[in-house]
Amino acid sequence: MQQFQNTLRIGVAHTVEHRLGLLAGRDEIAFAQFCEVLRQGGLAQPDALRQIPRHAYGDFAAQAVAWAKRCYLVFVCLGALTAYLLVIPVLGFSIASLIFLFVLQVILMPRTPKSIVLAAVVAVVFSFGLNWLFAEVFTVFLPRGVL
């Protein structure tokens, strides 16, 4: 059985090497390294998928869903970033940044009156302040928006 697997690995490796055209010219070292990677990597393991127990697929799906539930804030941040990038042309940089920063801070911070006030101040400073800095100091105008 082991001899069959080694023969199969060598045969697949050589077939792949011929298809990629690695046998031409001075590519002998790259060719040898590529062959070794293919042989050691188990590219041609014929029974590799069959050896995985059937219940492992269901376990993987359940663990993937559990991971997504544990990391839901990552998806919330990505969704907020996507929405922010989509509304910048409509609302402009300052207003879109103000809403984005305030909403994201309120979602991620503990919700106390002090933290909400702090989130509002930070959102105003980093949205309108950055717009002022770029416009007045760097003379680079950020998107103004349709509204």
Residue 4 predicted with pLDDT over 50: no
pLDDT in tens, 82-133: 999 999 999 999 999 999 999 999 999 999 999 999 999 999 999 999 999 9
pLDDT in tens, 18-59: 445 544 555 566 666 666 666 666 555 556 666 667 888 888
CA distances from 70 to 34, 35, 64, 74 (A): 40, 41, 10, 9
Give the pLDDT confidence score for residue 50 in this predicted structure. 66
Structure tokens that stand for 133 in this block = 């800095």
CA distances from 124 to 27, 34, 95 (A): 60, 56, 9
Give the pLDDT confidence score for residue 8 in this predicted structure. 47
Residues 48/42, Cβ–Cβ less than 8 Å: yes
Q: For the chain, give every domain's residue range.
A: 2-41, 70-137
Structure tokens that stand for 67 in this block = 């991971």
pLDDT in tens, 56-73: 888 888 899 999 999 999
Residue 14 predicted with pLDDT over 80: no
